[in-house]
Amino acid sequence: MKTLNRLLCGLAAGAFCAAAAAAEPYPSQPITLVNPYAAGGPADVLGRALARELERQLGKPVIVENKAGGGAAIGANFVARAKPDGYTLLLGTSAAHVVTPLMQRTPYDGIKDFAFVSIVANQPNMLVARPTLNAASVADLISMARKDPGKINYASAGPGSSPHLGAELFRERAGVDIVHIPYSGAAPAINDLVGGQVDVAVLNLAASLQFIRSGRLKALAYANGKRSPLLPDVPTLAESGVAGAESASWYSLAAPKGTPPDVLQRLNDAVARVNADAEYGKLMQAQGVDLWNMTPAEATAFVEKDQVAMRKLVESAGLMKK
């Protein structure tokens, strides 16, 4: 009888401990933030800065883990298949959630397999040209392209990348015939653009800013609704006569589907506090990043809307999966 009593007490204590652990407030352990891109790029700069600030807000380590490859599909799939407890998060992009699943078969659904915390940031693109191109404005570029269809070419970081789809959108809206020259990433594309091997590109502002300021690239127009405070003399594409050609890299914070709503809200509140921090805001502004705050519902609706827009663009570019 004594043995049975001890066993029952042990089981009761174990159940109590399990219940106490389950009731422990989130977070109670380190969080992994998966960046589906290689270290050193714009996403890495943002991800590591965000991780540092989230760590300060949440009181637990936030560790960035780079899982690059597959057009962001490798990192996205890793998070989609993780335990939905809020301890594995994705720094997502249009590529991870929308474009790559449209272009190729992925083992995850870019929207249905995720619980979105927020859209945390947006990084608009800039239409730039090699310094030796005889075009001082978007109007000059369009005139040249229409005079000699197929002569002007543009560099991208690869099929389906933000620079590629941004340039395709410009091509459509401007009504010009320009030729795509894909590269294996933004760095080699910029190198050849600076070297004069290609004519133009639609690049992330942070990636092109130092080259613009040094005169090694010409900034023709900002692909955003308003001018950049970093380059206030550069007009927007709409101001240059090409409406509806805005493009950018947006960044989500996403968790696996099934993550508890209270955990999502805890993370959403932390993101809002991070984005409200003045020093963090200055750091992001220097990278050409606009900070965004959305509720989980708003973030989901935003990604769904982006999917509709990107589907049309991917189809028109001939990139839709078979």
**Confidence tier at 6 by pLDDT (50, 70, 90):** low
Query: Does the global pTM surpass 0.95?
Result: no
Whether residue 80 has pLDDT greater than 70: yes
Neighbours of 18 (CB within 10 A): 10
With beta carbons less than 8 A apart as the criterion, state whether 35 and 91 touch. Answer: yes
Distance CA 288, CA 166 (A): 17
Whether residue 210 has pLDDT greater than 70: yes
**Confidence tier at 169 by pLDDT (50, 70, 90):** very high
DSSP H helical ranges for 24-72:
42-58
pLDDT value of position 21? 45
pLDDT value of position 154? 97
Q: Coil, strand or helix: which one is 135?
A: coil
Q: For the chain, first and last CA: distance in Å? A: 69
For the chain, give the mean pLDDT: 92
Whether residue 114 has pLDDT greater than 90: yes
pLDDT value of position 10? 52
